[in-house]
Structure 1
Amino acid sequence: MKHITIIAPDGQTNLGTVACIAGAYEIFTRANEYFKDNGGKETFKIEIAGIKSQTPLAGGLFLVKSQVYISEISKTNLIIIPSLASNFDEDGPGNAGIVKWITSQYKNGAEIATMCSGAFMLASSGLLDGKNCSTHWNYAHKFRALFPKVNLQTDELITDENGIYTNGGAYSFLNLVLYLVEKYYDRQTAIFCSKIFQIEMDRQSQSPFIIFKGQKQHGDEMVREAQAYIESQLTEKISMETLSSKFSIGRRNFDRRFIKATGNTPIEYMQRVKVESAKKSFETTRKSINEVMYEVGYADLKAFREVFRRFTGVSPLAYRSKYNKEALNL
């Protein structure tokens, strides 16, 4: 019998931690039952493991009982790290011990899956350096600042590389669990779990859920002014040469400073601002695709569709249909 270890973190948890632990435990338990009932030969022992017999979660609102201490597990096949509070401290004494154990298990052949902000714990081990990783889009700026050696992919819902799995934000951990059920059991078991727990199969992107907030957490005042100017000229097509000259700086240096501060080129930033405005119009008004397109400064429908799809993963029409009930009656 193989072994799945679901980590009960020591502190720095939230309600998402509770959901991840409970959800993963329930779905894998049901997968075990279905797989065995349908002739599967090898199932998994699923255990919640921590460094204490009882671990308070979400500020003490919940207690989770460790079925085993991590120190008692000499070998496991899959380690699941649940969501954590966004203020994760890699130097926390309890979590430091868990990170050390996870690193040792990975070197001994175990695979690791992180859910949402659980990626912070795994990244603190160094095991994600040079690898692709996803986490909640809302934590992207902080994650990049703390772990610059990790290739953060905020658009990806799930990454799978060298026995390490990561996923995007919040309750998208359910999609990761389905992905792992298919990988560790089979497709039919994953389909069964999808139907029983009513989780959409094969979701690949968290792009439609990203809310672009403007990437203002930096100290470059010139870039902040450039951002404000771009946001104030929503209907216009801004020349980057004109914008850089407005701040008396060469285009190359302007681009370099903008990328360093925001993670986007000035053109990408302008596109994301326009797309975010278009998304809000699609969500809250009955305007047509063309009306919204013109409002955000595009005159070419093909170009608008391409840019919109690049940042959301779906077409403008599909986005409006999904998020605006009134638009369905047009």
Structure 2
Amino acid sequence: MKHVSIIVPRGHTSLTNIEGAYQILAEVNDLQVAMGQPPSFVIQLVGLAKETSQRNGLFTINPDALIEDVQKTDLIIIPALFGDQQQAQALNQDLAPWLIKQYNDGAEIASFCVGAFFLASTGLLAGKQCATHWRLANEFRAMFPDVNLVDDKIMTEEDGIYTSGGAYSYLNLLLYLVEKQAGRDIAVLIAKAFMIDIDRTSQSPFIIFQGQKAHEDDSVRKAQEFIETNFQDKITVDQLADLLALGRRSLERRFKSATANTVTEYIQRVKIEVAKKDLENGRKNVNEVMFDVGYSDTKSFRTIFKKVTGLSPIDYRNKYNKEAIALHYN
């Protein structure tokens, strides 16, 4: 059996992550016992204090064990830690050495959502892929430039470390871990019991692109504003460089550093974000939306749209446009 330590951190933590992980793993055990199989998991809530207050005292969690009581574990689950991430790290700094020791002794580690910030603060994610909530992608990159953040993915796996994207995508990572330990058949049963969309790997359809302006480069900000105002037009890097009296290579370097996107990627994301809103709320067909955001080549538009959102324009419209949904179910 795999010993699982679900961490109960200090501060404002996702109770959903903690209780959800416990419930699903316990259900796996119950299913296996009912089928005459041995259970897969020994599950413990592991904390830094016997009584851990959450949400300003509204809830209290009593861990099964403290970290010093757990000499050896196989899988550590880190829930999302909300609020100021540096404060969350400071509150839970005593957890870091234990995590590092357990990982070096062979334990696997899974972080959910913004729990990736705490995991990254230990240094264990350096040079590795990582997912977190797409809304905090820029903040994560600024704090941990040595981590390869892939903000479009729902989950990552590298060297025994797993991370999940935003909010309830932790369920997809849990299913993946269940399948690895208990097999595909059990994972499918759990997916059906909890109504989880199994094998979903991308959070791209849920990303709302808001522009990355949390930087101090005025020239790059002017370029961003020009792109956002003139997205219907064909905009080139040379045009922007001339407008800002910068060399092309200098603009590209500064733009990438400030926004984590190339100029071309940024232009595409602005256009696609407008197209997404039109497909969600309007009655235009895909070709009309395509022309409105400055594309004339259908194949190119569909390719870029799917690259950014993970869905084709038609699939996206059918998923999020209320009229299209109503037609589908009537």
Normalised to the residue count of structure 1, the TM-score between the two structures is 0.96
Q: CA deviation at 1:65?
A: 1.2
Instruction: Tell me the amino acid that sits aligned with residue 217 of structure 1.
Output: A
Q: CA deviation at 1:36?
A: 2.3
Question: Is 1:293 the counterpart of 2:271 in the alignment?
Answer: no
Matches of residues 308-319 of structure 1 in structure 2 within 5 Å? 308-319=305-316
**Percentage of identical aligned residues:** 49
Q: CA deviation at 1:168?
A: 0.1
SS in 1 for 2:86: coil
Partner of 2:205: 208
Partner of 1:72: 69
Partner of 2:186: 189
Question: Judging changes above 3 Å, is the alpha-carbon distance between structure 1 residues 45 and 137 closer, same or farther for their aligned structure 2 residues?
Answer: same
Question: Judging changes above 3 Å, is the alpha-carbon distance between structure 1 residues 267 and 93 closer, same or farther for their aligned structure 2 residues?
Answer: closer
Contact 1:6 1:47 survives alignment (8 Å): yes
Partner of 1:10: 10
Question: Is 1:105 the counterpart of 2:102 in the alignment?
Answer: yes
Instruction: Tell me the amino acid that sits aligned with residue 109 of structure 2.
Output: I
Structure 2 distance, partners of 1:44, 1:287, is: 51
Question: Is 1:125 the counterpart of 2:96 in the alignment?
Answer: no
Partner of 1:35: 32
Any gaps of 5 or more consecutive residues in structure 1? none
Matches of residues 39-188 of structure 1 in structure 2 within 5 Å? 39-89=36-86, 92-188=89-185
Structure 2 distance, partners of 1:70, 1:94, is: 15
Partner of 2:278: 281
CA deviation profile, 1:98-130 (whole Å, cap 9, x unmatched)? 111111100111000000000011101101001
Give the root-mean-square deviation of aligned CA atoms.
Answer: 1.4
Structure 1 distance, partners of 2:249, 2:158, is: 35
Contact 2:232 2:292 survives alignment (8 Å): yes
Structure 2 distance, partners of 1:136, 1:249, is: 34
Tell me whether 94-103 or 260-269 shows the greater mean CA deviation. 94-103
Q: CA deviation at 1:91?
A: 7.7
Q: How many residues align?
A: 327
Structure 2 distance, partners of 1:186, 1:58, is: 36
Normalised to the residue count of structure 2, the TM-score between the two structures is 0.96
Any gaps of 5 or more consecutive residues in structure 2? none
SS in 2 for 1:89: helix
Contact 1:82 1:114 survives alignment (8 Å): yes
Contact 1:144 1:152 survives alignment (8 Å): yes
Q: CA deviation at 1:90?
A: 6.7
Structure 1 distance, partners of 2:56, 2:294, is: 47
Instruction: Tell me the amino acid that sits aligned with residue 271 of structure 1.
Output: Q
